[in-house]
Structure 1
Amino acid sequence: MSFDSLSEELQQRKQQSLYRQRRTLETPQQPMVSVDGREYLAFCSNDYLGLANHPDVIHSFQKAADKYGVGGGASHLVNGHSQAHHELEEALAEFTGRPRALLFSTGYMANIGAVNALLDKQDAVFQDRLNHASLLDAGLLCGARFQRYLHNDPESLNTRLSRSEARRKLVVTDGVFSMDGDVADLPSLASVCRDHNAWLMVDDAHGFGCLGKQGGGCAEYFAMGSNSPEVLVGTLGKGFGTAGAFVAGSEELIETLIQHARTYIYTTSMPPAVAAATLTSLRILREENWRREKLEALIQQFREGCDDLGLDLMDSPTPIQPIVIGESDKAIQISQGLEREGIFISAIRPPTVPQGSARLRVTLSAAHTEAQVERLLGTLEKVIKEQA
């Protein structure tokens, strides 16, 4: 069978300025990187606290690799649940104020596993329209009746829940929305869930480390109790600077996931050295509040600078600072113009974001300096004027 039809579709994506290409990073994640043989100042990493290349985290990884080797060797339920994994789960449970936490190999697997372990065709799942793809896929795969409510709109959610007679009702939202950078109204969503006897599941991938006095994410940011949200998901490859993910919640929730979450049961555990390194990054994340304070100052500096330039920023208090451009071809042109000036920022285009809202997704890190942010602002002004 010929692949001609695939070739036609790929060519069409190129013509629509939607074709994606990988770039090769040749250095650690840090503000100054080498990509495809050239040095850039990068503003497109999820390493929000600058921990991915922290010497203490690296040392912990190396020490644990000497002790445990490299691979996990088996699934958690066979022979792959190491002491390092167990210690990290206990630390994450304490960090989140939940009885238990369970490690997954990726955030995508955590979301797919949790939703599918909890729901089936007797149930209903309600998702924010701007949720991450992993959450949407989880809802579509679980067999439950799938509904989407208006973005960050508790009233829209309330209307949909009022009409449901499902056995179980699960409301799913991002904590920080990855493409817009805004924060979910968790207190209001939790209140609506209580009114309708629904569970609330929050994927706080981009909140952990950045929000809350000790980096506890959206739940700490809103001073929510240890019982809400009922299902709390976090990833370790962003603010923590390592890899993997976890779900935190009640004893019953975690035991249910161990028994039924296929993405947990049927995969090899993450390398134990990654778990050990994450224990160190968790300690740094909690103790070094200056990282969040510096990050907040850089966000304010960038937003004020963009306002002076008349750039259209989205309403985001987080390290995710999208500059909405509109059309995909124009976003690519500006991204390429920045690249020629030594600034590396990817253009985000449909279907990742809605049609007509292509953007430059600027992400800031505590590892950046004020001078680097000023360089970004000056370069943006130059390139955008050239493109006008």
Structure 2
Amino acid sequence: MEKKELKFNSKTIHGGQQPDKAYGAVMPPIYQTSTYAQSTPGGHQGFEYSRSGNPTRTALENALASIENGRYGLAFASGLSAMDAVIKLLEPGDEVVSTNDLYGGSYRLFRQVFEKYGITFHFTAMQDVESVEGKINDKTKLLWVETPTNPMMNVIDIAAMAALAKKHGLLLAVDNTFATPYLQRPLEMGADIVMHSATKYLGGHSDVVVGALVVNDKELAEKLYFIQNASGAVCGPMDSFLTLRGIKTLHVRMQRHCENGEAIANYLRNHPKIEKVYWPGFEDHPNHEIAKSQMNGFGGMISFVPKGGTFKEAVNIVEKLRVFTLAESLGGVESLAGHPASMTHASIPKTEREKSGVVDALIRLSVGIEDIDDLIADLEQAIGR
């Protein structure tokens, strides 16, 4: 069987991979080198300088393309550097439409870095297709989608956004960090670019900072590669190796993340001290049907608000947690808890973040793969009755 015909669970292990040509190593070696010998000027074996290309990074990029069912993968030093490369496709005067419920680091990059170079960003509820179309004009060049959104777990219809992008001749980029290609593959639904903070679920062990882009179009891939090489925000061989290792267990980890996430979501929803729980697996979630149609599960990310919650109450809960670790980031094997208003979304002005529901009492959970009884017991002792 050709490797391109493999199903997803096999692709995570074999997709885009082959034994190392030098000695047959099953895992691609860590090519910890900056430069490569040439037999004559320009005469090399495919690699000349590790900013431009490195065999370990190439192995990771091939794996990324395989699991997203794409043709070209690019690995970066972080998710934000991958986003940075996408926005560098634009020119002064261009406009971007994105969701009003956006990761704080993405919002900061858009508003505080790129707006001063003459690129305009519009933020709207992308669950409403008409609202998105109302922001599009002749200067619009890109739709930037994040689904499920961070941290409100809103679900955006990727196929509808793809149809809108095609209608207006726009690029569609989808941040697939929360879902991973295990749950959804945006290129198959019409997206032009898929982005990951591979630091999260793809790496899966909280030991790397890596970003990724995957595309199908050769010309677009060449433009992004030029920006990657010119700007230099590439991930090193060790981080490439660790992320590739993480991808090989993505499917089994995501199965447990989804199982534990569902159990925690239902536990919190039935808890007398919890006011709201945000998780796309609930049948009354505003876009539950869209989630069912474009995702193969609902993931391990959950946000909630304690009843009558205040900033003090939220902090009191997260400080009491013992199995969940209070920390930035998400997607590792260990369960993490975060307070978006003071952590991941602190860069968004209070009035703006509260419009989308990121209130001071909101707590975000990245549910790991520990024993579910231990996780529920930890929440029970932290929240009380």
Q: Cα offset for 1:265?
A: 2.5
SS in 2 for 1:358: coil
Q: Residues 265 and 277 of structure 2 are in contact (CA less than 8 Å); yes or no, is this contact kept in structure 1?
A: yes
Show structure 1 runs of 5+ residues with no match: 1-59
Greater share of helix: 1
Show structure 2 runs of 5+ residues with no match: 1-24, 37-46, 281-297, 327-336
Q: Cα offset for 1:343?
A: 6.5
Q: Residues 306 and 313 of structure 1 are in contact (CA less than 8 Å); yes or no, is this contact kept in structure 2?
A: yes
> Cα deviation per residue 1:29-84 (whole Å; 9 max; x = unaligned)?
xxxxxxxxxxxxxxxxxxxxxxxxxxxxxxx9x9845xx33x7679x984432111
- Rate the CA distance shift 1:189–1:333 in 2: closer, same or farther, 3 A: same
Aligned: 1:146 with 2:121: yes
Q: 2:246 aligns with which of 274, 281, 303?
A: 281
Relative contact order, CA 8 A, sep 6+: which one is greater? Answer: 1
Alignment RMSD: 3.1
Partner of 1:363 in structure 2? 366
Q: 1:89 aligns with which of 49, 52, 61?
A: 61
Partner of 1:233 in structure 2? 195
Partner of 2:290 in structure 1? none
> Cα deviation per residue 1:195-216 (whole Å; 9 max; x = unaligned)?
222211111122215x42xxxx
Aligned: 1:247 with 2:223: no
SS in 1 for 2:153: coil
SS in 2 for 1:179: coil
CA distance in 1 between partners of 2:234 and 2:54 (Å): 9
Q: Cα offset for 1:172?
A: 0.5
CA distance in 2 between partners of 1:274 and 1:147 (Å): 34
Q: Cα offset for 1:194?
A: 2.0
- How many equivalent pairs are there? 300
TM-score, normalised to structure 2, is: 0.69
Q: What are the within-5 Å matches in structure 2 for residues 41-190 of structure 1? A: 64-65=29-30, 68-69=31-32, 78-80=49-51, 81-116=53-88, 118-140=89-111, 141=114, 143-161=118-136, 164-166=137-139, 169-190=141-162
Q: Cα offset for 1:254?
A: 1.7
CA distance in 2 between partners of 1:342 and 1:196 (Å): 45
Q: Cα offset for 1:90?
A: 1.9
> Cα deviation per residue 1:119-153 (whole Å; 9 max; x = unaligned)?
11242211111122343344340522321222432
CA distance in 2 between partners of 1:179 and 1:231 (Å): 22
Partner of 1:13 in structure 2? none
CA distance in 2 between partners of 1:96 and 1:200 (Å): 15
Q: Cα offset for 1:236?
A: 1.6
- Rate the CA distance shift 1:95–1:127 in 2: closer, same or farther, 3 A: same
CA distance in 1 between partners of 2:220 and 2:315 (Å): 44
- Rate the CA distance shift 1:327–1:84 in 2: closer, same or farther, 3 A: same
Q: Residues 176 and 196 of structure 2 are in contact (CA less than 8 Å); yes or no, is this contact kept in structure 1?
A: yes
> Cα deviation per residue 1:304-355 (whole Å; 9 max; x = unaligned)?
211221322113333111112443222112223445x987434332553724
Identity fraction in percent:
16
CA distance in 1 between partners of 2:310 and 2:365 (Å): 17
Q: Residues 324 and 378 of structure 2 are in contact (CA less than 8 Å); yes or no, is this contact kept in structure 1?
A: no
> Cα deviation per residue 1:143-187 (whole Å; 9 max; x = unaligned)?
2232122243222001112xx112x52000113322123332212
Partner of 1:14 in structure 2? none
CA distance in 2 between partners of 1:82 and 1:294 (Å): 33
Q: 2:278 aligns with which of 288, 294, 314?
A: 314
